[in-house]
Structure 1
Amino acid sequence: MVLGFRNLLKTRMLLKHMIQLNKFTTKSMFLYLMGMLLVVSSCDKTPSNTPTTALPNDSLAHGIFICNEGNFQWGNASLSFYNTSTGTIQEDVFKSVNKRGVGDVLQSICIVDDKAFLVVNNSQKIEIIDSKTIESKGVITGFNSPRYFLSLGSNKAYVSDLYEKAVWIVNPAAQSITGKIAINSWTEEMINYGTKVFVCGRTSGFVYVINTSTNLLEDSIAIGYGAQNIVLDAENKIWVLTVGKDALAAQLHKINPNTNALEKSWSLPDGALPNKLICNSTKSKLYFINKDVFELEIHSTSLPTTALVQANGRTFYGLGFNPWQNEILISDAKDYIQKSEVYRYDTLGQLKGSFKTGMNTTYFNWK
């Protein structure tokens, strides 16, 4: 009975992930469900349970925060910390310090000076913590399903949202929502360039441009369907990963933020399911997941055809960069119901080591 329940939970997590990618047709969903019904009584690995450890006083001075989504509606999201100096991992540091869980689905983290803003998607809140001690400093509520936090100064930030079709305007100092900017799409990652913020429209074919001086939408840039991830490179060009839908291919786009002109669009192979887009520390190379992990130099004239790191049966889910050891961090969500494993690779694609984290590791940010 327990094994069957665990497999049903696995099915639910996989369905949630694929539905968010807009890749299910009615026929494929039916076939998938029928296949899973045949295995609900099969054996399943028991998730490992690593105990939470106490925090040394100086442990969070230097390293990488790791967001673990947890299981949807289970309230078991967690925050891990990887100490890059000692090579040690500390699990569930928020709970260890604050004596309560962080919430349901920890989507992302933004570090601003001595504060960190934890975007907890299904708990409809942003937790504010001291970035060194992890002590809670407050909570911002009132969102529908927040995704990413973009700082624009001590008194202003934008927050994207899954269900609102808007970008929220937030005052971090006052810990309150002060307004919102209507956008005809669910909103995902954002990036600031001068007095502009470029916003990924996940359920449209556009990247939206907001004037930060007026908080008004001033432009929309037509690109492929499903803008999800966005980065700024060393030459101040913006790159956007779109996931596609049905016959619309997943693509990688290059935008000139000074003119808002689309300079380049590359289509990924048929059936691509891209996820995550990051830069190295010098912003001269891009990395993205499309089952495997691929590397692209910003001056490249075509997409890479050979993976830098092959998944080889692993479920690559999160992607980050360690600027101190010049390492690529790749999380393996495994079956979505046991703890993730993070693999450390050098920039040549050679494995350097790995460590366990929480469930469904999705996001990395360093301090």
Structure 2
Amino acid sequence: KFVEVIWNDPQLDLIRFQHAPRDSFEEFPTWKSNAALEFAEKGDAILSIIAAIPDLFVDQDPELIVIRRQTFLKHFKPFIDLKFKNAMNWTNVAASVDSWADKIYPDLPPDKRKTKMWDTIFDICRVKQKDPVSAWQDHIYQLAARSNYLNHKQYNTLKLKAPGTDLMIGLPKGHIWKGGSTTNQNGIDFSPNLPTEEIFTLPHKDKIEGFVAATKPLPVEVVIEDFSLTFSKGRVVKATAKKVENMLNKLLEIDEGSSRLGEIALVPHSSPISRSGILFYNVLIDENGSCHIALGRAYRPCLENGEKMSDEEFMAAGGNVSLSHIDFMIGSGEMNIDGITEDGTMEPIMRNGEWAFDV
């Protein structure tokens, strides 16, 4: 089969931030988004190889960073729409690079860091187990079993309680929990993320009440630290952060849906990523070491017939529509989560960061 490679180099983006005129950040080379859309429309498999370069944009203007992000999302929207409907099979994987390994393992000799990073990636993806294929399949089976349990329950609301967090998350009727692997519109099973430890669904965009504190920094070009959000009627009404609070508020203003939730994901605190004790400064990995929620776009397959709905129908059913999708981590060993049924019965889902039910 023919394989096309599309490169992205954040160092070139840095040069642009440093030297390009301010009014150029709403310009975009459409051949990139058109190429991605062409692949998606044909149902081609897409493998995204991701590496982090922490602190690369730390001295850049947060407003320009958000403008650049928003411009990218606008042009890639048709592609992302198809991706979030599973029109093709797609997978995100992490790769070790020098700049990332230097950040994660500063105490190691420089010539050992990149190899150590690869070892860590292989560990958390179960590659180094005796039979990695069977280990991965068993892991996917366990995630599916927990998803099936919660799909059978069809809780009306989730209650999350932890230090700094007291949050009620309403769930829409017909919500679907997913985890590990899923199936594209052509019937091909695939795992969207390696590693993966989460089971997730979509919240009702208008039924979020309370406050939540992030338990890990959020790397979005720059790193947002020690932040918390307060919700009323589904929308963020207050946002505070110890570091780059202005960046956080700009991200909430990308569009109407960017200040509402599109995902709630459950991850046990004892996951391999969490046990490593490493902050990876990369959402692909960090989100799989912690319960998390996402601001912005919801995943259409998490709602019954969601892939077939128009935006208006999806929103009427409780799904959130947005250009953006930003995951941030809220889990810890002190997180308790309960499911609340239609009649108000409260049942434990997680206690002290661990599953409170057997499958």
Bin for the TM-score computed over the shorter chain = under 0.3
Q: Using structure 2 for the length normalisation, give the TM-score.
A: 0.26
Q: Using structure 1 for the length normalisation, give the TM-score.
A: 0.26
Q: Which has a greater percent of strand? A: 1
Q: Which has a greater percent of helix? A: 2
Greater relative contact order (Cα < 8 A, sep 6+)? 2
